[in-house]
């Protein structure tokens, strides 16, 4: 009997000796990790003095010292035994109070569960809710793990909510609620919608009006919404976060994926939480016991202390909130300066490169269709896609950025640029390097450039002074 072969196994010349689950063919991946490994390998070759890193969806800052001090204290207090499978009650109370303040809706302890990172909430929601006859809808472009896991659990019944180009700017993407409603009207049994705001990969924020309309659709068509707002504090231009929970009745229809990775620079801690109806938390708890038993005791203490006092085994861990708030605000201000610097600099290259406004998170998703159409790029470099261009940038120019197509079909012809890295080492010189690359491609194509290299250098210096005074 022939054994089904997965592409990933074929590519690595690995052969299983037993039958494997054929549904694995629907399981995707997150290219940022494999691409990051390529960047590290190229760095070791020392082909370039430096590789400018715009591919990493990690935080620029490291974990604030007060959080580390609390973890160290917990370890010295020998807090190394099992934790509560849902999260210690006081920890969940602190999270519930925080989310209540954020959303304006009463969140109770039975609505909260701790988890090891944010991703588990995606799989928990799918396992608890979605059968093989159900469909899942998600933003496209979007975080690739949504489609990966949804495709796996539904055997490919994933429907992309495709972004279209804005009427105001025909090179910039936007998500239209009317397109989403057309999907819901199709008659397909949609059980779950997955949305993310502020969004990875675009850095855009769904408006309050759009979220309100989505809430009405959820109640009308009776589907649950996995609402990922992991970047909820990283907002620019005075924007305030709007939680889907804040709309009437939406606690009954919302699975709120959130956590500590982005706001508090704790990506490596793998610490998150989920807020959902009590009946669903009960199911999630049963699944958690089967999957990971519990979040580590130290992490549970830290998770609670970020929002309030925690007392465990007679030891008090004081609230870190007042210490952390100004640190987070400082980090967000830096992200905003870097993002606006990036966008204004990329606009020097219009119409060849068209960025979108940065509204939150730490990403921009510039349109590079016109670069891909340049004669030199098409005919001499034989580059025909954003993926080809991304690899050429890395291996020939030492500039690391992810192709937009890795985030879904609506992302083709774009790049995802993360501006989380250090401004002086990567962002300022890296953006300048990218501008020079594109100007060179335009010149080699025999076309008129928007500006000369000297003019670009002067404008970038002006923008550097504008956004970075220190």
- Is 396 among the domain residues? yes
Residues 387-406 have a mean pLDDT of 97
pLDDT in tens, 20-76: 888 888 888 888 788 889 999 999 999 999 999 999 888 889 999 999 999 999 999
Structure-token pair, residue 107: 């969140």
Strands (E), 85-239: 112-115, 135-140, 158-162, 164-165, 173-174, 190-196, 224-228
Under 8 Å between Cβ of 307 and 321: yes
Is 84 a residue whose pLDDT tops 50?
yes
Closest CA to 114 of 99, 130, 136: 99
Choose the final residue of a domain: 320, 348, 370.
320
Peptide bond into 141 cis (omega under 30): yes
Structure-token pair, residue 386: 């954003």
Is 1 a residue whose pLDDT tops 70?
no
Is 12 a residue whose pLDDT tops 50?
yes
126: domain CATH number? 3.40.640.10
Under 8 Å between Cβ of 243 and 229: yes
* Residue 112 bridge partners (DSSP): 275
Kindly state whether residues 246 and 156 are assigned to the same domain: yes
Choose the final residue of a domain: 300, 320, 340.
320
Kindly state whether residues 102 and 245 are assigned to the same domain: yes
| Integer angstrom CA distances of residue 319 from 70, 169, 316 | 10, 46, 9
- Is 6 among the domain residues? no
In the predicted model, what is the mean pLDDT of the chain?
A: 95
Kindly state whether residues 228 and 85 are assigned to the same domain: yes
Structure-token pair, residue 463: 């923008």
DSSP element (H, E) containing 264: none
Closest CA to 142 of 79, 194, 214: 194
Cβ-based neighbours of 122, under 8 Å, separated by 6 or more: 145, 146, 149, 150, 194, 226, 257
Residues 233-239 have a mean pLDDT of 94
Q: Which residue has the tokens 């489609």?
A: 147
**What's the whole-model pTM score?**
0.94
How many Cβ atoms sit within 10 Å of the Cβ of residue 9? Answer: 15
Gap between the Cα atoms of 338 and 117, Å rounded: 26
Kindly state whether residues 193 and 81 are assigned to the same domain: yes
Gap between the Cα atoms of 268 and 260, Å rounded: 10
Report pLDDT for 300. Answer: 98
395: domain CATH number? 3.90.1150.10
* CA distance from start to end of the chain: 68
Is 380 a residue whose pLDDT tops 90?
yes
Kindly state whether residues 281 and 402 are assigned to the same domain: no
Strand 272-275 and strand 310-312: the pairing is unpaired
H helix count then E strand count, the chain: 16, 16
Residues 120-128 have a mean pLDDT of 97
Structure-token pair, residue 373: 């159409």
- Is 126 among the domain residues? yes
- Is 129 among the domain residues? yes
Q: Which residue has the tokens 């390998």?
A: 41
Is 210 a residue whose pLDDT tops 90?
yes
pLDDT in tens, 242-286: 999 999 999 999 999 999 999 999 999 999 999 999 999 999 999
Provide the number of structural domains found in the chain: 2
- Is 340 among the domain residues? yes
* Residue 162 bridge partners (DSSP): 140
pLDDT in tens, 90-112: 999 999 999 999 999 999 999 99
- Angle subtended by helix axes 120-129 and 144-154, to nearest 10: 30
Kindly state whether residues 301 and 315 are assigned to the same domain: yes
5-19, 206-220, 235-249, 297-311: least confidently modelled range: 5-19
Residues 379-387 have a mean pLDDT of 97
Gap between the Cα atoms of 218 and 277, Å rounded: 15
- Is 410 among the domain residues? yes
Report pLDDT for 5. Answer: 63
Under 8 Å between Cβ of 141 and 127: no
Name the CA radius of gyration of the chain, rounded.
23
pLDDT in tens, 290-338: 999 999 999 999 999 999 999 999 999 999 999 999 999 999 999 999 9
Kindly state whether residues 195 and 240 are assigned to the same domain: yes
Kindly state whether residues 91 and 133 are assigned to the same domain: yes
| Structural domain that includes position 366 | 15-61+326-467
Closest CA to 271 of 466, 36, 91: 91
- Is 3 among the domain residues? no
pLDDT band at 436 (very low <50, low <70, confident <90, very high): very high
Closest CA to 295 of 124, 123, 81: 81
Is 2 a residue whose pLDDT tops 60?
no
- Is 128 among the domain residues? yes
Kindly state whether residues 114 and 57 are assigned to the same domain: no
Report pLDDT for 132. Answer: 82
Gap between the Cα atoms of 142 and 198, Å rounded: 11
Percent with pLDDT over 90 in the chain: 88
Kindly state whether residues 277 and 220 are assigned to the same domain: yes
Q: Which residue has the tokens 């022939």?
A: 2
Kindly state whether residues 165 and 294 are assigned to the same domain: yes
| Integer angstrom CA distances of residue 29 from 40, 134, 150, 195, 420 | 19, 22, 12, 18, 22
Gap between the Cα atoms of 79 and 66, Å rounded: 18
Choose the final residue of a domain: 264, 298, 320.
320
Residues 9-26 have a mean pLDDT of 84
Kindly state whether residues 183 and 77 are assigned to the same domain: yes
């Amino acid at each position: 009997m022939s054994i089904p072969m997965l592409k990933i196994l074929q590519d690595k010349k690995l052969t299983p000796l037993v039958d494997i689950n054929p549904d694995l063919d629907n399981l995707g991946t997150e290219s940022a990790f494999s691409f990051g490994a390529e960047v590290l390998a190229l760095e070791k070759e020392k082909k370039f003095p430096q590789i400018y890193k715009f591919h990493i969806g990690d935080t620029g800052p490291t974990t604030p010292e007060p959080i580390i001090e609390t973890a160290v204290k917990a370890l010295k207090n020998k807090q190394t035994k099992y934790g509560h499978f849902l999260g210690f009650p006081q920890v969940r109370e602190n999270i519930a109070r925080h989310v209540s303040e954020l959303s304006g809706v009463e969140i109770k302890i039975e609505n909260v569960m701790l988890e090891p990172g944010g991703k588990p909430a995606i799989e928990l929601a799918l396992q608890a809710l979605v059968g093989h006859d159900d469909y899942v809808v998600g933003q496209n472009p979007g975080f690739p793990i949504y489609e990966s896991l949804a495709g796996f659990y539904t055997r490919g019944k994933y429907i992309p909510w495709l972004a279209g180009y804005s009427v105001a700017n025909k090179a910039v993407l936007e998500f239209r609620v009317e397109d989403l409603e057309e999907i819901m009207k199709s008659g397909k049994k949609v059980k779950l919608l997955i949305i993310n705001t502020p969004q990875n990969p675009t850095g855009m924020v769904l408006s309050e009006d759009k979220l309100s309309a989505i809430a009405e659709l959820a109640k009308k068509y009776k589907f649950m919404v996995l609402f990922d707002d992991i970047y909820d504090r990283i907002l620019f231009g005075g924007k305030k976060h709007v939680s889907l929970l804040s709309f009437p009745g939406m606690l009954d229809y919302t699975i709120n994926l959130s956590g500590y990775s982005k706001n508090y620079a704790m990506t490596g801690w793998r610490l998150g939480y989920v807020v959902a109806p009590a009946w669903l938390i009960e199911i999630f708890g049963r699944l958690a016991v089967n999957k990971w038993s519990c979040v580590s005791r130290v992490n549970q203490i830290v998770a609670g202390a970020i929002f309030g006092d925690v007392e465990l085994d007679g030891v008090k861990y004081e609230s870190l909130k007042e210490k952390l708030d100004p640190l987070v605000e400082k980090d967000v201000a830096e992200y905003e300066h870097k993002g606006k610097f990036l966008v204004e600099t990329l606009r020097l290259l219009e119409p060849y490169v068209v960025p979108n406004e940065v509204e939150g998170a730490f990403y921009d998703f510039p349109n590079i269709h016109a670069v891909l159409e340049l004669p030199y790029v098409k005919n001499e470099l034989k580059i025909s896609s954003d993926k080809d261009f991304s690899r050429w940038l890395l291996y020939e120019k030492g500039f690391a950025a992810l192709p937009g197509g890795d985030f879904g079909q609506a992302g083709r012809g774009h790049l995802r640029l993360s501006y989380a890295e250090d401004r002086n080492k990567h962002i300022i010189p890296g953006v300048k390097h990218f501008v020079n690359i594109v100007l060179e491609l335009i010149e080699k194509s025999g076309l008129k450039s928007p500006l000369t290299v000297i003019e670009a250098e002067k404008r970038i210096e002006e923008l550097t002074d504008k956004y970075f005074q220190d």
